[in-house]
Amino acid sequence: MRTSPSYTASYRIEVDEKTTSIASIVDAVSSTGAEIKGLDVADSDRGRIIIDLTCDMRDSEHRREVRDAIAALSGVTAESVADQTFMSHIGGKVEIHSKVPLRNRDDLSRAYTPGVARVCTAIHDMPQKAHLLTMKANTVAVVSDGTAVLGLGDIGPAAALPVMEGKAVLFKEFGGVDAWPVVLDTKDTEEIISIVKAIAPAYGGINLEDISAPRCFEIEERLRAELDIPVFHDDQHGTAIVVLSALINALKIVNKKIEDVRIVVSGVGAAGNAIIRLLLAQGARDIIGCGRDGALSGDDTEGMHPSRKALAEATNPRHVHGSLKEVLKGADVFIGVSSGNILEPSDIESMAENAIVFALANPTPEVDPIGAGKYAAVVATGRSDYPNQINNVLAFPGLFRGLLDAKVKEITTEVLRVASVAIASVISEDELSPSYIIPGAFDKRVAPAVSKAVRRAVRDLPTVDIPVQPDMDVN
């Protein structure tokens, strides 16, 4: 297991230079496999110095191993240890900043009373003006019940809040969208729908996050039907958008067409379902979805949940049956959104020539990426420490930027599809390689490209009509 910035720690160390050199501390720490990122002298007094040592570790146990290695040295004391990941979350990751000055009474009278009453009246007379005169114009609610958080599962709303805060940070950084975390202390489908509908007037869009399947399907479907603002379940559609964009470019590498390839998808929950639907919209014809019990098929749907039954009937045209390993033989593409280490590299060897492997389970992929690379032409993961990271941050900031700017009321499959194409198009034909099929998370070209494509795709969709008088008066 590699070291990771997720496990960065800083050690404040007091050293007696007469007994132990700094070099010996570096050697002791390095011998544990830790990657030293920085060493700074904080203080020095008569042969005793204080140093701050920062390094990346593999996990929490490795952090303790480093501490013990330091403590074992003569004349060295580890005074404190600070976990940088936890330090970055102290007090939360988001805050509110005012966009208007409050320097004097005049400013106050315009921002608040009495002037704000005029704006309230204008919105009361024409509710659609809220899209212009309030934060609704650029604000998304990131809503979760904490039932399907990362790979942690059902950990509850409070424990899910750091993820939602992080999502809000990404919205702002990459799309210029003001997003706000909303975690709900309920798992009841009807109650969640009711709450989101009740808070919707304050937001221009709803981003559903980390809600377990199959409840997430009904929640999204109902909210889309009952609200007049875009509703997006990122675990489904954000993942699907980026998977399709990566596949578009991967198929160029191996010179295959999506309508001709055999695709196997491991995991038929929220993400797998959405991926399959979007691949079908792009022209894929032969997709097999695999759950824990093997391949889904339309000729064997007895007892299936309606959402899974619909998926089975829309896929597997050859009615193939068997385990994941069995149906993978001869396939051109493997897409995993399930669990780690369910395949061996030898299983990839059984696939078709020039196979494509997207092993997206996090933190442990379905198959070892390095081992898979011995047999596959293109390999992608959900991790940042391997090439071709399939990361949802490539999708949702630009998607919502375009939706908010266009003032549309809904999201269609075609909108999702064009977003995928836009992400893929950021990489030119000359730039494409087996190790570069998807832009990096910090590629500043992505969000504008997605936003532009979305605005074009929604030209014929219903929009919010905002009649605004030139003088901005209420009458």
Residue positions annotated with a catalytic role: 112, 167
Q: What is the phi/psi pair of residue 374, to 5°?
A: -70, -20
* Cα(413)–Cα(57) distance, integer angstroms: 42
Q: Which residues contact 121 (CB under 8 A, 6 or more apart)?
A: 474
User: Which residues lie closer than 8 Å to 415 by C-beta, 6 or more apart?
Assistant: 399, 403, 454, 457, 458
Burial class (CB in 10 A: 0-12, 13-18, 19+), 294: middle
CA distance 115 to 106: 10
d(CA 119, CA 300): 59
Rg (CA), the chain: 26
Alpha carbons 234 and 232: distance in angstroms, whole number: 6
Assess contact for 316 and 263: CB atoms under 8 A.
no
For residues 434-453, one letter each, b for 16 or more C-beta atoms within 10 angstroms of the residue's C-beta and e for the rest, the string is: beebbbeeeeeebbebbbbb
- Would you give the DSSP letter of residue 129? G
Q: What's the CA gap between 122 and 132, in Å, rounded?
A: 11
- Single-letter amino acid, residue 225: A
Asked if residues 423 and 446 have their Cβ atoms less than 8 Å apart, the reply is: yes
Q: Is the bond into 467 cis (omega within 30 degrees of 0)?
A: no
